[in-house]
Structure 1
Amino acid sequence: MADREEMSLSFGAAAGAYEAGRPEYPAEAVAWMLEPARSGSDAPRVADVGAGTGKLTRVIVGLGAQVVAVEPDPGMLAVLHEAVPGVPTFVGSAEQLPLPDAGLDAVLLGQAWHWVDPEAGTAEAGRVLRSGGVLGLIWNFRDDDEPWIARMTAIMHDSTAEAMIADGGPVVAGPFGPLETRSWRWRRAMTRSALEDMVRSRSYVITAGPDERARIESGLAALFDEVGAVGDALVDVPYVTHAYRAVRA
């Protein structure tokens, strides 16, 4: 099995699958994270850190914020440039942000904080945020309360993020106040092709050896046949979005 660092930097090899298979974020969840940041401006200055292909970036833009995107993988940023043209981008990480001190109203991370060293990431977020700025963390998860989704998760292996949430959630240190959280449940209609792209965009699958990948693909093919994800047919995939926010002192 690949180590944590290799998995965290694996996504560029599947950037197209990530863009096609991963869901966007509910606008109401992103708006909730940004609420404290709007106290000083109707167009808060926001960094989307670990921005990937821009799934979170485009929602932030749609909410009227000024956005910069920070991502360690140039392959992911290339897709973001096409998906969200005009957004300034920087190669960097949550632990080493290429941004000035106290220049932002919000730092948001989508599907990313579980790859971050929480002590270093919190310190950097605190450095680039103004007093009263907000650190927002968000994840989309398939809802394993539905039996066939739980079977799919078992076949393709839990993610690092799913394990972190099950263990009590993200850790954020000073200079931030208490971590607030809210959840949203929703559904997404997906074709078999989109389901396959979602699977291929997961770090465990990207870094798996040929035998393990063949096992995953075989098991999922049988499951998708069983639930009617055949050809262009749509199946409803339930999701739960967990969002967190903490305000800088």
Structure 2
Amino acid sequence: MDRDELLLHASSFGSAADAYAEHRPDYAGAAVRWALEPAPGPRVLDLGAGTGKLTGTLAALGAEVVAVEPDPGMLSELRRSLPDVRALPGSAEAIPLPDASVDAVLAGNAMHWFDMAVAGPEIARVLAPGGILAGLWNLMDDRVEWVAGLARVGGSAAVGPRDTPADWRAETAGMHLPGTGAAARFGSPERAEFPHGQRRTADSLVATLATRAGVLVMPAREQEATLGRIRAFLADRPETAQGEFTLPMLTGVLRVRRL
């Protein structure tokens, strides 16, 4: 994906902020606790916070959390749903916080949108010495047969890179978070995965997949056809055809320590 296409996808969520807030999953609590485990203190920045899916979990765990989000629609939804959380406009490349002001920076399904050549030094600037940078991704567990079938039917726009365990492992195995220059020194990455799940119906799962960037930027006819294939697949599977079911998921975490 070239830079212009990346920016188009990254800017697509604001138009669907209410659907994103309603349908996207939260993050496994064990995954969030593991991400924060080595942090030297309770001050946490949720960077690229979206509608606050990760922010809410951090607040529930007792973190002193501040959320930063560039999209006005997403930020408005976050402020509506979490009025007691400090939420600021800003981006990974321009964080509106002082130097060494947080003990951890977490990003939920967002780090792949960052320009890490710029964001790396900026994240290092706001992190206290020994602070933690962690990315979290919710993954559909395609070790389950019907989930693997859904991934095939949905295609890469609806179920793309980082969305299944094997893809996430392949992509993050060679991921070198910024470690050069005096302003951006980090230790070696650590990875872990944690069981997760989301209660869905066929309709609400289609609505969830409709909030993926690859689907949001599709021409209307292509979007309708893609979601139609997914809807037909779910209607034909015994696991998903009747009422509620649990979508098998994992939360993957990649963390590094600021040196």
Task: Return the TM-score normalized by structure 1.
Answer: 0.91
Q: Report the counterpart of residue 182 of structure 2 in structure 1.
A: none
Number of the residue aligned with 1:243: 253
Amino acid at match of 1:125: I
Aligned residue among 157, 168, 171 for 1:167: 171
Q: Unpaired segments of 5 or more residues in structure 2?
A: 180-184
SS at match of 1:3: helix
The one-character-per-residue Cα deviations of 1:213-247 (angstroms, maximum 9, x if unpaired) are 1221210111111125457x112211011112111
Q: CA deviation at 1:102?
A: 0.8
Q: Aligned with 2:188: secondary structure?
A: coil
Counterparts in 2 of 1:120 and 1:164: CA distance versus 1, 3 Å: farther
Distance 1:242 1:64, change over 3 A: same
In the alignment, the residues of structure 1 paired with residue 121 and residue 46 of structure 2 have an alpha-carbon distance, to the nearest angstrom, of: 16
Query: Structure 1 residues 129 and 168 mapped into 2: Cα distance closer, same or farther (>3 Å)?
Result: closer
Aligned residues: 244
2:237 partner amino acid: V
Q: Give unpaired runs (5+ residues) of structure 1.
A: none
CA shift at 1:196, angstroms? Answer: 2.0
Q: Which amino acid aligns with 1:204?
A: G
Normalising by structure 2, report the TM-score: 0.88
Matches within 5 A, 1:1-249: 3-37=5-39, 39=40, 41=41, 44-158=42-156, 159-162=160-163, 165-169=169-173, 170-174=175-179, 175-228=185-238, 229-230=240-241, 233-249=243-259
Cα-Cα RMSD:
1.8
Distance 2:161 2:6 in 1: 9
**Secondary structure at the counterpart of residue 60 of structure 1:** helix
Residue 59 of structure 1 aligns with an amino acid whose one-letter code is T
8 A Cα contact 2:47 2:91, kept in partner: yes
Equivalent-residue separation in structure 2 for 1:13 and 1:160 (angstroms): 22
**Tell me, what secondary structure is at the counterpart of 2:197?**
strand
- How far apart, in 2, do the equivalents of 1:48 and 1:209 lie? 32
CA distance in 1, matches of 2:212, 2:223: 11
